[in-house]
Amino acid sequence: MTVESDMDALKVAYWTERQYYASHGEDKTPWLRIASLRETAGLPRARFDEALRKDPDVEVMPESNQKTLTHADRESSLRIGGQEVHLVAYGFH
């Protein structure tokens, strides 16, 4: 597998989740939790992390309300730019 194919897998997983939320009337934000996206993408952690870091179309940010983070959110977070990020979105570029 190449990092490009992993980046494609992340995008497919992201848009699959977004479609699910839209079909259930829960499509209020473009941001998805990294923990959920990791599960949907099904990639090994190192490959997921590399693809997320290298994809020029992705945006990441920390959860502003740290009290809402679950154990899975904390375990799945990714350290970028000196901070733990928990949310991901595509399509801002």
pLDDT digits (tens, 9 = 90+) for 23-42: 888 777 789 999 999 999 99
Q: Per-residue pLDDT for 93 more than 80?
A: no
Q: Per-residue pLDDT for 15 more than 80?
A: yes
Per the structure, the complete domain to which residue 59 belongs is given by: 3-90
Closest CA to 47 of 18, 9, 19: 9
Q: Per-residue pLDDT for 45 more than 90?
A: yes
Which token pair is 41?
């993408």
Domains identified in the chain, total number: 1
Question: In this structure, how many other beta carbons lie within 10 angstroms of the beta carbon of residue 91?
Answer: 12
- Diameter over CA atoms, the chain: 37
